[in-house]
């Protein structure tokens, strides 16, 4: 029975992902860039071309396919953010071999230009730790919305054991600095890792 469910899930995965992406694109003022394990990474109008957004969404889907077909729960344990072919990997895995395998699979995807590997080895020791990371991530989104307003949708947040990884694109380095400072004040945060691309206004 379990095997049957797994096969159905794989068959339905791509159509559902594409439908969700199209739906979100239609409902969002910015447009979907890539969906992660805990939310969607989007990009504001004017920051990037539609062609690049579609390319990144394609890369995201292809990485998800690689992870879904892997035997070591990569799809469940690893989050990916995609920005102009630049891949940020975050998550927790059991050992170094799995970490290396994840990177190998991502390099097999056409269009990948760079991989930033922030996958950690270990596990959340308790449900409390996992709940704490979820709470921090929720607070990070709220802080971003309060600090930078609508531009908060251009940032993606992933929290692993109290460490917040921030990815996205912005042309306002002053607002980014203000947001990072505010994120540091969230209870339980022990580190901020900033992978936001600063884009000069043309």
Residues 11-40 pLDDT 10s = 555 555 544 443 433 333 333 333 344 333
CA–chain centroid gap for 93, Å, is 16
pLDDT of the residue at 32: 34
* Residue 41: pLDDT over 70: no
Let me know: does 38 contact 135? Beta carbons within 8 Å. no
> And the tokens for 139?
């607070």
* pTM of the predicted model as reported, rounded to 2 decimal places: 0.68
DSSP 8-state secondary structure symbol assigned to residue 86: E
Residues 84-137 pLDDT 10s = 899 999 999 989 999 999 999 999 999 999 999 999 988 766 778 889 999 999
Residue matched to tokens 């109008």: 45
C-alpha distances in Å from residue 135, one per residue of 1, 62, 188, 195:
35, 30, 9, 21
The secondary structure of 103-166 as a DSSP string is: HHHHHTSTT--EEEEEEEES--SSHHHHHHHHHHHHHHHHHHHHHHGGGGGGEEEEEETTEEEE
Torsion of CA 179, 181, 185, 191, to 10 degrees: 100
Query: pLDDT higher for 64 or 12?
Result: 64
Q: What angle do helix axes 2-27 and 50-69 make, rounded to 10 degrees?
A: 170
b/e map 80-98, b = 16+ CB within 10 Å = bbbbbbbbbbbbbbeeeeb
Beta-bridge partners for 155: 168
């Amino acid at each position: 029975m379990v095997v049957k469910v797994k096969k159905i899930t794989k068959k339905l995965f791509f159509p559902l992902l594409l439908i969700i992406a199209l739906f979100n694109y239609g409902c969002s003022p910015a447009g979907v860039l890539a969906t992660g394990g805990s939310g969607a990474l989007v990009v504001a109008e004017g920051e990037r071309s539609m062609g690049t957004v579609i390319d990144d969404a394609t890369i995201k889907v292809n990485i998800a396919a690689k992870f879904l077909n892997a035997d070591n729960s990569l799809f469940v344990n690893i989050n990916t953010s995609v920005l102009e072919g630049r891949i940020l990997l975050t998550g927790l895995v059991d050992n170094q071999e799995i970490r290396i395998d994840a990177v190998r699979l991502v390099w097999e995807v056409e269009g990948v230009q760079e991989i930033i590997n922030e996958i950690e080895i270990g596990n959340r020791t308790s449900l409390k730790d996992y709940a704490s990371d979820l709470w921090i991530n929720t607070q990070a989104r709220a802080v971003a919305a309060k600090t930078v307003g609508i531009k908060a949708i251009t940032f993606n947040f992933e929290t692993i054991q109290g460490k917040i990884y921030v990815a996205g694109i912005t042309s306002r380095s002053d607002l980014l600095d203000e947001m990072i400072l505010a994120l540091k004040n969230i209870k339980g945060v022990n580190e901020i890792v900033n992978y936001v691309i600063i884009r000069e206004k043309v």
